[in-house]
């Protein structure tokens, strides 16, 4: 039964017209790599290294643009760097990333513990 489903799936995939995939998407890493970057970012966050955390979260967001966690933590790391500045353009960017995170996953709840 499983083998028949696999054969049917493979047949359907080969019969479907192939869309051209942009070169940059073929070079993207797996979402698991995004989780590793998120974990590194959270470790940097807990060391109060918000700039380093931002770089890791940015990497995670680029690896997996559909990750609510990557968007949220990127926004939060940016916010933390400019938290005490009353008005700053980067705070607007952080706000947009927060909105993006909840757009991607309305049920998202941040957990600031690394998964490892």
Q: What is the pLDDT along the chain (116 residues), one digit of tens a residue?
A: 333 433 333 333 334 343 333 333 334 455 569 999 999 999 999 999 999 999 999 999 999 999 999 999 999 999 999 989 888 889 999 999 999 999 999 999 988 776 76
Domain contains 7: no
Domain contains 16: no
Domain total in the chain: 1
Would the pTM count as exceeding 0.75? no
Per-residue burial over 40-75, b if 16 or more Cβ lie within 10 Å, else e, is bbbebbeeeebebbbbbbbbbbebbeebbbbbbbbb
Tell me which residue range forms the domain holding 38. Answer: 31-110
Q: Return the closest-CA partner of residue 40 out of 22, 17, 59, 24.
A: 59
Q: What is the Cα–Cα distance from 81 to 18, expressed in whole angstroms?
A: 44
CATH of the domain at 60: 1.25.40.10
Q: Do the beta carbons of residue 78 and residue 90 sit within 8 Å?
A: yes
Domain contains 11: no
């Amino acid at each position: 039964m499983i083998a028949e489903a696999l054969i049917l799936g493979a047949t359907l995939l080969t019969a479907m017209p192939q869309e051209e995939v942009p070169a940059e998407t073929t070079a993207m890493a797996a979402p698991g790599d995004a989780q590793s970057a998120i974990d590194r970012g959270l470790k940097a966050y807990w060391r109060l290294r918000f700039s380093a955390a931002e770089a890791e979260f940015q990497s995670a967001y680029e690896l997996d643009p559909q990750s609510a966690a990557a968007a949220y933590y990127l926004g939060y790391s940016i916010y933390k760097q400019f938290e005490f500045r009353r008005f700053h353009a980067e705070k607007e960017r952080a706000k947009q990333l927060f909105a993006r995170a909840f757009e991607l996953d309305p049920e998202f709840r941040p957990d600031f513990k690394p998964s490892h």
